[in-house]
Chain A
């Protein structure tokens, strides 16, 4: 149990570093969301509780990365704690609930689940940004969220296989495979 938590923690940090420190995966200015892929992988295979908490810690790392600033002259503090946590945890929960009865080792299932939940995460992030930070353009839904979702879905076909190899299915609770 403790070993599993350590493995998850390492996987979360590694996904975070992949996302922020390497530009190798960037295509046309869009990079995949490795933390979301990890959240979806665990929520699909081990249930919604894993999805919620991996989403929470992954989102927290991203929010801390965004930093804190004071807008000069106004003394208004700008921070982002919560803006990535919320969409990722909700997505983790929903994907865990809705993927209970789907075929877990099928490429098609992975593609559809990852695409749909990437879009949901993107829309939630867009709405939270619009409510708490303002200044977001509706076209971001098409120019950023849609390409990112498609990229996540395509990459998941390879990434989930790699995760299955690194974190073997024996350690995961097999549900309907």
Chain B
């Protein structure tokens, strides 16, 4: 009897069970669910990484059959570029020496340099409504939650004479939010949950950069005093406040969409890095003092690690 009813209404029962499962999960934030999701993510990322390797290998094979003459032309162009860059290198060394000399004279502390981990993107945005970046480096490589992520990106534009101009952009991508042994998830600055302390490079005023929903695509700069005259093209850099990002890293530029409210003004910011075209990123090995708030239970060893030398380093302002 029961078997007959179950068989007759199996589709309805299946759907009801799935609806209940989804709603209970969405409303609860239990540790078991979170830990299970984390374990499932580690497994899924392993397969994603394998698929990515397969794709990369396939692309390399296809590329190797590329036009020989095109490669020859590229080689000549690169040779010329190398000659130019050698001159630039000499100039750079001269400027570096001069910079160090002047810093000493002014008794300025040199800007802190952190080691970086180079990582390749293996997965990007599972849906059009949400944003996630998964990279192929995890806790085995020293990646920890809340480490800042930056990237270099080459962009090509045309000038008025229709000549192609290549420029290298360097800027913030986001921060690490979840780490497994072999992979890590990045929360991009454009995501609605992303909030970064920033400042306007030209004026030095502080603000908050918040990601927005997918419909907007670009983050919003909030809480800028009405006294500040915001201009289109103003560069926005990290303030270093909040303990996640080192200061003075370029985030983006102010667009023409500037809104003056009753108490503050805000503006839409065009990120310097086009996340949809990213292939590789750099994870800055900078620990965060709030790491202990990372979800799940930390073992005493992990607490020891984070409350030891790294916290002292942060307290020292490094």
Among A20, A49, A86, A89, point to the contact of B10 (Cβ < 8 A): A49
Instruction: Give the complex CA separation of A76 and B193 in angstroms.
Output: 12
Does B63 belong to the interface (CB within 8 Å)? Answer: no
Which of B22, B29, B129, B242 is A86 in contact with, Cβ under 8 Å?
B22
Q: Which of A21, A69, A72 contacts B123 (CB 8 A)?
A: A21
Contact B213 A137 (CB under 8 A): yes
Within 8 Å of chain A (Cβ to Cβ): is B18? yes
A49 touches which of B14, B19, B48 (Cβ 8 Å): B14
Question: Cβ of A136 < 8 Å from any Cβ of B?
Answer: yes
Question: Nearest Cβ distance between residue B254 and chain A, in whole angstroms?
Answer: 21
A48 to B192 alpha-carbon distance, docked (Å)? 35
Q: Mark A137-177, 1 if CB is under 8 A from B, else 0.
A: 10110011100100000000000000000000000000000
Would you call A68 and B178 a contact (CB within 8 A)?
yes
- Residue B258 lies at the interface, judged by CB distance under 8 Å to chain A: no
State whether A132 and B293 are in contact (beta carbons under 8 Å apart), knowing that A68-B37, A69-B178 are contacts in the complex. no
CB closest residue in chain A, given B44: A64
Of the listed stretches B155-163, B199-207, B214-222, B263-271, chain A binds B214-222
Instruction: Find out whether the CB atom of A52 lies under 8 angstroms from the CB atom of B293.
Output: no
**Cβ-defined contact, A93 with B217, below 8 A:** no
Q: Does any Cβ of A come within 8 Å of B189's Cβ?
A: no
Give chain B residues whose Cβ lies under 8 Å from the Cβ of A17: 47-48, 51
Query: Would you call A22 and B129 a contact (CB within 8 A)?
Result: no
Chain B residues near A135 (CB, 8 Å)? 192, 212-213
Residue pair A125, B41 in contact (C-beta under 8 Å): no
Chain B residue with Cβ nearest A138: B215
Given contacts A81-B37, A85-B22, A86-B18, contact A65 B295 (CB under 8 A): no
CA distance A65 to B215 in the complex (A): 21
Nearest chain B CB to A153's CB is how many angstroms away?
A: 15
With contacts A65-B126, A70-B294 known, is A82 near B185, CB below 8 A?
A: no
A126 CA to B213 CA in the complex, in Å?
11
Q: Which of B11, B34, B146, B216 contacts A79 (CB 8 A)?
A: B34
- Contact status of A80 and B44, CB under 8 A, knowing A21-B123, A64-B37, A136-B213: no
Instruction: Report how far A49 CA is from B311 CA in the complex, Å.
Output: 54
Q: Which listed residue, B19, B128, B185, touches A30 by the CB 8 Å rule?
A: B128
Contact B295–A21 (Cβ < 8 Å) = no
Whether B26 and A140, one on each chain, are in contact in the complex, defined by CB atoms closer than 8 angstroms, is no
| Residue in chain B with minimal CB distance to A60 | B40
Cross-interface CB contact of B128 among A68, A83, A89, A148, cutoff 8 Å: A148
In the complex, per-residue mask of A9-21: 1 if CB is within 8 Å of any chain B CB, else 0: 0000100110111
Which B120-170 residues sit within 8 Å CB-CB of chain A? 122-130, 132, 134, 145-146
Known contacts A52-B18, A67-B178; A21 and B55 CB within 8 A of each other? yes
A75 → chain B, closest Cβ, in Å?
5
Asked if B276 CB lies within 8 Å of chain A CBs, one says yes
Q: Are B19 and A90 in contact (CB under 8 A)?
A: yes
Closest Cβ neighbor of A55 among chain B residues? B18
Does A19 lie within 8 Å of B126, measured CB to CB?
yes
- Once A68-B178, A81-B37, A90-B19 are accepted as A-B contacts, the answer to whether A52 and B14 lie under 8 Å apart by CB is yes
Contact indicator A68/B34 (Cβ below 8 Å) = yes
10 residue pairs bridging A and B, Cβ less than 8 Å apart: A49-B14, A61-B126, A65-B123, A66-B126, A70-B294, A77-B295, A81-B37, A82-B22, A83-B22, A85-B21
Apart from A20-B126, A82-B26, what 6 extra A-B contacts exist at CB < 8 Å? Answer: A52-B18, A62-B127, A65-B126, A66-B132, A72-B244, A79-B25
B-side interface residues toward A, CB under 8 Å? Answer: 10-11, 14-15, 18-19, 21-27, 29, 33-34, 37-38, 40-41, 44, 47-48, 51-52, 55, 122-130, 132, 134, 145-146, 177-178, 185, 187, 192-193, 212-217, 242, 244, 276, 288, 290, 293-295
4 A-B pairs closest in CB distance: A82-B22, A69-B177, A86-B22, A82-B25
